A and B are shown apart, each in its own frame.
Chain A
Amino acid sequence: MPTRWRNERLLVNTESNTTKVLLLLSAAFALLAVAFLGNLWGRSPASPKISLVDTNFLDKATARRSYADLIKAGEDLSDFDCYACHEKGKAPPLRFDTNQNLIIPKEHSDIVMHHGSHERNNNCFNCHDELNLELFQTRDKRELKLSNSAPLCGSCHGPTYRDWEAGVHGRTGGYWNRSLGEIDRKLCVNCHNPHSPKFPGRKPAPGPHPLRGGGAAVAHAEIKH
């Protein structure tokens, strides 16, 4: 028996290098296998919850509705019935304060006058016809219906009107190819409030979410510092 043990030990010694390397390799592979199967690293970061965008931001509606839109939609036009209150054929009086700002009568308190630099375009009858309130009058004495206000705007805003006629100022929709369908043009008053024409600001739609977690707020902070 002792001889056999000794023989064995001798042989193990001569083969010990191979055995060690093989066992070591096996152990390394086993560890790697555990690591891969358990997905110990390389785990994809938990994707941040991104809520669906509010459908209001997908809405193609214009900033405001024009008189023409209201007619088309068959809505209540009693607000535009001037002679329910005013007297026909008689120019309504305008009152100004000491700074030459128009005093808006309380019947028209929904109107905010803010047209022209230094609010100088504050005379109602620069645009409205004083003798027929259901019409507009341009500076060159043309009379226009309330639903046809674009030429009225154009009588002062010439270059913009020219661009608008070419489809370049303002919104378009529908077909770029006129032989395949109609172009959808919007009027000046679909975007601009004629009494206060500056295009209003609005809340922006949500910003981008970066690929690796955190969302816009974190990215924002990163940029700031």
Chain B
Amino acid sequence: MLDVRGLSAGYQGNDVVHDVSIHVDDGEAVMIIGSNGAGKTTLFRAMCGLLASSAGEVSFQGNDLTGMATHQLVRLGLGFVPAERHLFPRMTVKEHLALGAYPGRPDSDTMNVVLDVFPRLAERRSQRAGTMSGGEQQMLAMARALMARPRLLVLDEPTTGLAPKLAHEAYEALDAMRREGLTILVAEQQVPLAMAFSDRGYVLEDGVISIEGTSEALAADPRVRGAYLGIA
């Protein structure tokens, strides 16, 4: 479904990620783990057209995404939830959900599915995003992305700034979306959560994919255990 080949990207001519190749197949949940500054966000931003890449190709369902603008890939079915969420502070939950379906009208089936996954948003339809808690904002960012009925949802550190209980809830919501048939690619620093959730994973270190494998294999890998699971 998603195929990234030899992608390099960065800022002001200095590449942060180098020659990264990853793929995500239909129906999979894939994680990218790595410490702060390893390049997860840069990789995602380059994939989603928010940052120009210096080399490599990205294809999604047979479409070449290289050089395509973000708003175009959203319409192809690629949803992206950035770590900073980028909500609209003075707009209500309802308006976010309506905008998520832009340029179409929000259809009630999708709305029901989304509000089923995030019941708290249903209670807060008229609340402005700027007045919500971090956990609620994360839910809203995911819900907004889902309203476009994406085929693949890419999430950058969905648990940033969330208390452990809310981080769990975020992954419960992701599980629910998977059961609806959504393919998911997630970057995460909270490795145990992501590992329990995903089928496969990549380890990104200093901008390079250093290890890849099934989640079970990664969980058993001594390098991953030492560096990311805190088990010596």
A and B part of one assembly: no
> B interface vs A, CB < 8 Å?
none
